[in-house]
Structure 1
Amino acid sequence: MKIRVVSSKEEISTLGTNEEIIHLAFRPSNTDILELITRCPKVKALHIPASYKRTISHSSIMFLEMQGIDLVEGDVWGHRKDINDYSEVSQRIYDLIDEYKEKGMSEEEIVDKMTREEMHMSKDLLRFIIKSRM
């Protein structure tokens, strides 16, 4: 899974229409979120740092819910925007999720175990990945 990293409001206009998961490395306004969703109609999730998520307006949260777009809390660990516009979730993460599912672990058990194993992923992002795999 590729996560498109957007560092500023000005970058929204450069996004392709096929983006599905977008990490916002800036504090988005209601207008920014509306512009983003209009520009990227296939978006499934917005991934934002915890401090920014707390400042998202209730109207924006309701709008995202009505559009079926998840608001996922977290950071992109070790990503260098100057090298690549995308942060990728490694195949290892998917393999571990599949392995744990085969062992009969619940979604929360998988999330807790992978968080303890220092996967450098937020619980929200792990939940989103697990949900999207079903």
Structure 2
Amino acid sequence: MKIRVVSSRDEIFTLNPNERIVHLAFRPSNKDIFGLVETCPKIEAIQLPKSYKGTISKSIEMFLEMQKIQLIEGDVWGHRKDINEYYTIPSSVIEKIKEMKIEGKSSEDIEAKVSRESKINREMVAYIMNKDALA
């Protein structure tokens, strides 16, 4: 699973329209979010660092909810945008989630353990768990 890392508002309009998950590494304005949704009509989730997520307006939160786009808090630890514009969730993390689901672990247990071991935010772990790829 790949997350497209966007480090400036200028990049929004150059994105591939098929992007599904985008991490915004800057504090987006309402206009930036609207531009992102317009540029990437298939978008399913937008990830923001905690400090930026807290500044998102209620109207944008409602807009994203109506569009069925998840707003996820989190970071892409250790990612270097100059090397690769995508952050890839390691397949080992996805396998761990699958194993724990098969073992019958609760969603909360899976989120807590995988988040702690992989430094991936709980909200992102929950998003991965609910994706069709794990079904």
TM-based fold match above 0.5? yes
Q: SS in structure 2 opposite 1:113?
A: helix
Q: Where do 4+ consecutive residues of structure 1 move more than 3 Å?
A: none
Inter-partner Cα distance in structure 1 for 2:37 and 2:122: 24
Q: Distance in 1 between matches of 2:88 and 2:61?
A: 25
Unaligned runs of 5+ in 2: none
The letter for the 2-side match of 1:49 is P
Q: Which residue of 2 aligns with 1:99?
A: 99
**Counterparts in 2 of 1:24-43, with a 5 A limit?**
24-43=24-43
For 2:89 and 2:116, locate their aligned partners in 1 and report how far apart those are by CA, in whole Å.
Answer: 17
**Partner residue, 2:124:** 125
Task: Report the Cα offset of residue 115 of structure 1.
Answer: 2.4
- CA drift of 1:91 comes to 0.6
RMSD, aligned α-carbons:
0.8
**Structure-2 residue corresponding to 1:67:** 67
Identical aligned residues as a percent: 53
Gapped regions of structure 1 (runs ≥ 5): none
Q: Calculate the TM-score normalised by the size of structure 1.
A: 0.97
